[in-house]
Every structure is written in structure tokens, then in C-alpha cells.
Structure 1
Amino acid sequence: MTTSNEKNTATLIHLSALAQYIVPFGNYIFPTMIWSAKKNESEFVDYNGKQVLNFQLSILIYTIVLCAIAIPILLYAFFKNLPLNANFESEDFIYERILFGENSSWAIIGIVGVLIIIFIKIIEFVLIIHAAVKASNGDRYNYPLSISFFK
């Protein structure tokens, strides 16, 4: 049976990952601090701490891979159609030269990559809240598509 204190600590570990919106790398620092302080006291807290860190590291890897793909493609699409004597004051410059140029498919792929990154961050936020609710109810929650770094 999981105690109220264990449920609260596990919930706090999940919610501490939201610190990333206030403190850079807060989604790694705060869950790690809470988990390492309480992991030996409760198997439930230990399990939830591992789940949070596995998920956060997985999201980091997915984001880095998508950025490594999307950013160079967007830069290529932008600079490929950029003439040497470009008039940046023209309102039609972006539409004519980049989006409708010969590399418009590259621009679309890059934009889709950026949209996927935004989608991942929104899903991350929702899943953190969902996992915190599950932990507060005493349920074990496995984040989807999470790589098991800590077992």
C-alpha cells in the first residue's frame, strides 16, 4: 500500500519537470534532486523518479534529432534561393524567393519538423500533468515512447 507521503512525493517529482519553463534544465535538476533524496525510502517514489528522468531524457533526444534535421533544411531552403542582390524591403521577397522557389519542398519539410517539435512540447506538458495525477492516485504510470535509461 502506498502512503499519502509517497504519493505526494511522486506527484512532486512529476510536476517538478515543469520547472523547465522557469529554470533552464529545471526538468532534469529538480526531479533528480527530489528523486535522489527520496529514492531509498520508497519503491514507488523510486519508480516514478526513474520514469520522469527516462521521459525527459527521451524528449531531449527526440528534440535534438528533429532540430538536427529541421534547422539545416530550413537554412538550406532559405539561402539556396537568396540572390546576392536581394531586396529585403520587398513584401513579396519571402513568398517568391523561399516558399515558392525551386526548393519549396525543402522549406515545407523544415517547417513540418519545427511543427513536430512544438507538438512534442505540448504533448510533453500534457503527459507530465497526466502522470502527476496518476501518481497522486497511487497508480504506476509509464510515459509513452520513453527510452529506459534507468531501470
Structure 2
Amino acid sequence: MSENPIDPSQTSAPPPPPSSEHPSGVSSDQRQWAMFAHLSAIAGAVLTSGVGGWGTFLGPLIIWLVKKDTMPFVDDQAKEALNFNITVAIVFFALWVLVFVTLGIGLLIAIPAWFVIGIAWLVFTIIAAIKANDGVTYRYPFTMRLVK
């Protein structure tokens, strides 16, 4: 009796075709736009008056207004970027008020604070952009959620 060289019970199923969907379930377009929402704050800071300036929240605002109805992940992340940058702008403005109210003496507090906040802003923004590109929802620390 001859044995069948190909036993159907011994064969394994072919591997499934590669999936075009990201493991997070978020499409590549949404991940890319969400990343742009975070990075647009850096571009705004470079093109305008720096961290805490109006340019830092203009990019996230525009992306949020354009994509909020069609891309839920972008809606969430653009709002998060917008809220974070508005919060940083408010803190920078409050430090300026401190400087003017104390007739310049507040600079002893404001200058180191601006430096620390600026570095933290840059680090958190880059982390958020990387997380968004991975399809992970990111929440900035110490952020007032003004835009809901």
C-alpha cells in the first residue's frame, strides 16, 4: 500500500493576506492628519511668535475645523492639540501679566518658567505626534479642556 505524500490533515492553511488596516484600527489618513494636527503647532511657533503665540493653536484649529466631521480620530487629537496650545498660551500670557504687575521683577520667575514650559511643550508635542501616527489616543498633561 502506498502512502499519499500529501495528507490533507497534515497541511496548514495558507497565511492570511496582509491587512491594509493598522492594528489600532485607525486608517493611515486619520493617523497622518492627527499627527499633522500636533506638528502644526510647532510649525506655527516657528512661523509666528514662538511658543505661546497665536500660531501654535492656529494649525490645530484649522485641521480640527476641516476634519472634525469626517475623521473621528483627527477630531479628538486636533481638539487635544488645540486645548494644549491654548493652555500654554494662557500660561505664557499670565507670566507676562506677572512681569508687568511687578514692574519687571517678575522676570526672575517668568524667564525660567518660559524656558521650562517651552521645552516641555516641545517634548509633549513631539510625543503626541508620534502617538497619533501610531494610532494611539494621546492626552497632554496639565491641559484645560476648553474645546469639547
Q: Specify the TM-score bucket, using the shorter chain as the normaliser.
A: 0.7 to 0.9
Separation in 2, partners of 1:58, 1:40: 24
Higher relative contact order at CA 8 Å, sep ≥6: structure 1 or structure 2?
Answer: 1
Aligned to 1:21: 46
Q: Whose helix fraction is larger, Structure 1's or Structure 2's?
A: 1
Q: Contact conserved, 1:74 with 1:111, CA < 8 A, in 2? A: no
Q: Contact conserved, 1:50 with 1:150, CA < 8 A, in 2? A: yes
* Aligned sequence identity (%): 29
Aligned to 2:129: 132
How many residue pairs match? The answer is 119
Question: Cα deviation per residue 1:9-64 (whole Å; 9 max; x = unaligned)?
Answer: 00001000012221342212222112211111111000001101100110011111
Q: TM-score, normalised by structure 2?
A: 0.74
Say what the alpha-carbon RMSD is for the aligned residues: 1.5
Gaps of 5+ in 1: 76-106
Gaps of 5+ in 2: 1-24
Matches within 5 A, 1:1-151: 1-18=25-42, 19-24=44-49, 25-73=54-102, 75=104, 107=105, 110-151=107-148
What SS class does the counterpart of residue 143 from structure 2 fall into? coil
Greater CA radius of gyration, 1 or 2? 2
* Alpha-carbon shift at residue 112 of structure 1 (Å): 2.5
